[in-house]
Structure 1
Amino acid sequence: MRSAVLAVLLLAPQESIEERRDRIAGRLEEIRGLKFKEKLRVREGTRKEAALLSLEGLKDVYGADLNMAEAFLKALGFIPQSMKLPIAVTASAGIGVDSFYTAGELVLVDTKTPDDLLLYRMTFGLTDQHHPEAGLRKRAAPTFDARMALAALRAGDANVCKVLLWYSKKLGEKVSDDWLESLIRGAEKWEREDSRFRSAVMPRLLVRSGDFGYRRGGIFVETLRLKGGMDLVNKAYEKPPASTEHILHPEKYLAGEAPVSIDLSPLEEHLRGLGYGPTYRTTLGELGSAVLLETHLKNVDSGPASSGWGGDTIELFEGNGMWFIVWATEWDTEKDAAEFQEAANRISQLLLPSERNRTNVVVRRKTATAWLYNYPTPLQDGLLDALWRAKKDGKASYGE
């Protein structure tokens, strides 16, 4: 009997990758409530292709000039001096990858990739047809914070769809009454405890940014889905989360609380007159702020010091054979600003410059806290005066 069954299975036609795509696409449409406008192209690919795709993702988050981004990350201690960022990311990206989505194509590195992982990849393709990624990127600020938030929306959407497949759920159905809470508990435990083991062999920045999309993005998307169904998730593509604060605190996104912009043009103008210019600029956001604290303050919960984030601009200046960093942050309350100032002071003491006539200082006015790192001491008075002339949301002076 067993031999007869085996013979039937061996003679049964194998499902082609196109047939698998079509079957999974039908299930995804039921879960997501959207229809594919056209079939995704499907083909076999290589790990090298996946690694090259990860390099493009790296440029999207950190900027096209990866050499300058690498210099910035090393200056802050995010990555070790010996690390080559593109090599480290592309080398790890190809390991264990089974499939990926890119530009209308579902690419299988392993044709035995499970259905749930293919559905995860295909969700990117489905949403790309309705809300093109290229358009979303044009609307997002070219900063670490904004690009990580956008990536979390897309990855979180895919992760929720994958879980709905696991539980055989359809559009609008709950997984369970406590599933969202279990997601939150799991993410918090990973961030506080389990991820520390991985951070022993990989920079904290790469560990936390690597899991942020599907973990915290999944929580963000499920929060929206439970509140307003997939219609509300679709609206999030029309008005994407602008910061990692929105991802970490969906209630702030739903309330329309926009991040504060900080324009350091007065500071840049002052420093140009002294022979220094900005060579790298970004916004770290609540995620980046937390990761910087976790990188230097080992086994410390970054939550109290990074929650309450309202906005930031961080710039690397170079000139006259030296470099320094100015990080201007804004917080929801003076208490939040003071808590961050205390944490930044601790890091500042750990990273005291070894060169003569260089120093660090953390200054605060009301809800504004700024960290000046590795700057030449003769610049201090003019530097601070120019800093406080910076503009907040294009109007009020920074620190007022």
Structure 2
Amino acid sequence: MRRASVVFLTAVVVLAGLSPVAAAAPGGADAVVEPAPVEATMQTADNESAPADPESDRLGWENGYWHNETIDVDQSDGLTEAELNATVSRSMARVEMIRGLEFDMDVPVRIITRSEFASSGNASYSDDFLTFDDTKFEALFLIGEDEDSIEVQDANRGASVGGYYSPAADSIVLVTDNESTLQVDELTLGHELVHAIQDQEFDLSTVTSQTRDGANANSGLIEGDANYVQQRYRERCAEGGEWADTCLSPSTNGSGGGATPPNMGVYFLNYQPYSDGPTFIGAQRAAGGWERVNSLYGDLPASAEQVIHPDRYRSDAPTEVELADEHGEGWERVTPESRLDYAEVGQSGVAAMFVYPLYAGGGDVQTYARNVVGPQTWLNYTESGEISQVDPLNYGFDAAAGWDGDRMHFYRNADGETGYVWRLVWDSPEEATEFRAAYEELLSYWGAEQVGTDTYRIDEDASAFADAFHVTVEGDTVTVVNAPTVDSLSAVRSSTDAQLSTPTATPSPAATDAAGTDTETPSTEGTGSDSATTTSAPGFSVVAALAGLLTVALLAGRR
């Protein structure tokens, strides 16, 4: 079937950043000798106990295996090729039964070890690309000036990837943590098989975006669909389910493991479609069945906001934000050739920015949580008090809700210093004012002091985000100007009036009490780096692992 370099990845805990590529096992004199990857090629089954094969292909039967039959597979000592063939074929049949679509072609599956996966990826980028990417993550207070954004994203990506589907190769790669025996997590396999059947039916290579908001919007459909099916798959594998006691899961330290991602903020930026997507799909399916879901591939969500709030799909198009350059002499706009010359991070980016302090450690996190967003607001709970398995995270809390569009421009001077202008449009002036109040709290958390009207400064010894900031509100629009120093703010944007002065007292934002206090009732469970040319983003296969991670990371962030 074709074609593009898009990949769709599934991670047990987190994957963030660039599309992985296949790579050879690590070499060298000290390299660990690893088992050869196991690869499945479809073969007709020879199972005397299985029901008779149908006269023609049908939903729930693939390559000689029915969805509900038992297969003779023991992966305690690793899978043989025949065992992997059987597992993949039966999983294809199971995905068909849930999703209501028929596979048109076989899907090769390969298993590699985590060390092999971690050694993959050798892409190179231009200086403009790297500056653009670094400055974007700095603007979101997710990656500091002393870190390389690509390296951080790669570290997140390699932490616990469970597998990926490549439309270019029409194949799946599963990643195992067990270096000695190659094992399968059937739920991860099922998730990736959903991507394969999406690709066969809807051609995923045509679903592209060059902004984070666009990528998360697309992933809200693509990964939301796969996660929704995976949740139905898990229910059928559970006790009392149709496939109980027949679904494969790895042993301890197998492919079902996972590590805490190095950067939780980048994690949350990418995780949004996998939390909100299944609820979005569930709402669409409730309205019109799988036919309604299928139609979405020809009418994609216009923003991540439409996935976070399914009722806004088709009814609340984002604003195309206008932002003219006003940089002075000695500064230039950073415009990489391989991507758009601006960034749009969307509501998921705003939410990740505000949530990261809960996990970052340092700062007055108690005050911040009280005034902006706290655990009870950020985590979605079921009526029994557990973190939701369907939609664990609330990207619609008050400080992020009301987003209607944003645009970032990045600048660089002759000394290599960077600055940016970030303009955000909100649904109302009140929403814009609420965002500014929360943003001031965020600046304070990272060590900023107000040094003039609308002007703030973070000193070098305060945090990794040492810079000057100018924040203004005009009606429903907020404009943030950033530069290395207060004096250079007007060089990045000439209309900025950032003269040092005695700051006027900033009113305590009463509205933020509703945005983040931990006194409100927990939410109940809902219903069922930007690549230049792709919507590639992380996939997450085990939300239960996420729940434990969130709890541990929150406690760590409070130290």
Q: Given the two structures, how large is their TM-score scaled by the length of structure 1?
A: 0.73
Mapped partners of 1:28, 1:236: distance in 2: 19
Partner of 2:11: none
Instruction: Find the partner of 1:127 among 173, 176, 198.
Output: 198
Unaligned runs of 5+ in 2: 1-71, 75-79, 177-181, 238-259, 336-340, 358-364, 379-396, 449-456, 461-466, 498-559
SS across alignment from 1:16: helix
Matches for 1:216-295 after TM superposition, within 5 Å: 216-253=276-313, 255-264=314-323, 267-268=324-325, 270-271=326-327, 275-279=331-335, 281-295=342-356
For residues 86-140 of structure 1, give each alpha carbon's deviation from its aligned partner in whole angstroms, at most 9, with x where no partner exists.
3333344344444332231122334431322211111111101122222001xx3
Matches for 1:1-400 after TM superposition, within 5 Å: 15-47=82-114, 50-51=117-118, 65-74=129-138, 76-103=140-167, 104-110=170-176, 111-137=182-208, 140=209, 142-168=210-236, 202-253=262-313, 255-264=314-323, 267-268=324-325, 270-271=326-327, 275-279=331-335, 281-295=342-356, 298-299=368-369, 300-301=372-373, 303-321=397-415, 322-348=417-443, 350-351=447-448, 352-354=457-459, 359-374=468-483, 376-379=488-491, 382-383=494-495
Mapped partners of 1:207, 1:168: distance in 2: 29
SS across alignment from 1:276: strand
The letter of the residue matching 1:361 is H
The letter of the residue matching 1:162 is Q
SS across alignment from 1:167: helix
Check whether the contact 2:481–2:493 (CA below 8 A) recurs between aligned residues.
no
Name the structure, 1 or 2, with higher relative contact order (CA <8 Å, separation 6+): 2
- Compared CA separation, residues 148 and 51, structure 1 to 2 (3 A): farther
- Compared CA separation, residues 96 and 147, structure 1 to 2 (3 A): closer
The percentage of aligned residue pairs carrying the same residue is 23
Check whether the contact 1:314–1:325 (CA below 8 A) recurs between aligned residues.
yes
Mapped partners of 1:108, 1:292: distance in 2: 31
Mapped partners of 1:119, 1:348: distance in 2: 43
SS across alignment from 1:315: strand
- Compared CA separation, residues 379 and 64, structure 1 to 2 (3 A): closer
How far is the alpha carbon of 1:377 from its aligned partner? 4.5
Check whether the contact 1:54–1:89 (CA below 8 A) recurs between aligned residues.
no
The letter of the residue matching 2:343 is T
Unaligned runs of 5+ in 1: 1-7, 170-197, 386-400
How far is the alpha carbon of 1:84 from its aligned partner? 3.4
Mapped partners of 1:70, 1:25: distance in 2: 41
Partner of 2:247: none
Check whether the contact 2:95–2:190 (CA below 8 A) recurs between aligned residues.
yes
Mapped partners of 2:207, 2:423: distance in 1: 27
The letter of the residue matching 1:248 is I
For residues 342-388 of structure 1, give each alpha carbon's deviation from its aligned partner in whole angstroms, at most 9, with x where no partner exists.
22233445441549xx8422212211111112262444884359xxx
Check whether the contact 1:204–1:294 (CA below 8 A) recurs between aligned residues.
no
The letter of the residue matching 1:339 is E
- Compared CA separation, residues 239 and 106, structure 1 to 2 (3 A): same
- Compared CA separation, residues 167 and 68, structure 1 to 2 (3 A): same
Partner of 1:396: none
- Compared CA separation, residues 275 and 37, structure 1 to 2 (3 A): same
How far is the alpha carbon of 1:16 from its aligned partner? 2.8
Mapped partners of 1:293, 1:339: distance in 2: 13
Check whether the contact 1:341–1:369 (CA below 8 A) recurs between aligned residues.
yes
The total of aligned residue pairs comes to 335
Check whether the contact 2:212–2:345 (CA below 8 A) recurs between aligned residues.
yes
Mapped partners of 1:144, 1:311: distance in 2: 12
Give the alignment's Cα RMSD to 1 decimal: 3.5
Q: Given the two structures, how large is their TM-score scaled by the length of structure 2?
A: 0.53
